[in-house]
Amino acid sequence: MPGAHVAATRRLLARTRVPKIVDVVAGGADRQESVWRGLQRLPGDARVVIVHDAVRPFITADLVERVRAAGAGGAATCGMPVRETVKRVTDGAVEATIPRQGLWLTQTPQGLRARPAVGGARHRRAAMASPAPTTRCWWSGSGCRWQW
């Protein structure tokens, strides 16, 4: 959320009394910075962090709960199998069609235990070598294992 909208959003939430909202935090220049700002505002007793893009506002409570439950065991994300045809292209020329088997499009929400999330984000920020670092996860049962 842009910083200019934080105060108005806090006022609106105070009037509507949304109990699950802990705080409203201005976003950063990129997703990583926005998540970091949110992690810094977690209450000390938080056990699971749910990260969600505001661009997908119609998330269901059921999906959040499933990701929260899976994230409590380590980390989880939701996704869907790739249905589109995927091509590898170099210099405008199609080189190959990538088999879709085993390919998934991950989305938000993403959930993970709070302490590892904060510690991992702190470590990642300290060791940042590229302007656009990413977090990787490997599917493992109902969740995934994260590498910062």
Q: Per-residue pLDDT tens for 89-148? A: 999 999 999 999 999 988 888 888 877 676 666 655 555 544 444 444 444 444 444 443
pLDDT of residue 92: 95
The lowest-confidence range among 6-20, 52-66, 78-92, 117-131 is: 117-131
> What is the DSSP code (8-state) at residue 137?
E
Give me the domains of the chain, ranges plus CATH numbers.
1-41 (no CATH), 42-147 (3.90.550.10)
Tens digits of residue pLDDT in 29-57: 887 788 888 888 888 888 888 888 777 77
pLDDT at 99: 96
Three-state DSSP state, 1: coil
Q: What is the pLDDT at residue 121? A: 66
Instruction: Say which residue, 85 or 107, is predicted with more confidence.
Output: 85
94 close to 88: Cβ distance less than 8 angstroms? yes
Q: Within a 10 A sphere around the Cβ of 81, how many other Cβ atoms? A: 10
| Percent of the chain's residues with pLDDT above 90 | 16
The rounded distance, in Å, linking the Cα atoms of 111 and 93 is 38
Between vectors from CA 80 to CA 130 and to CA 137, what angle results, nearest 5°?
A: 35
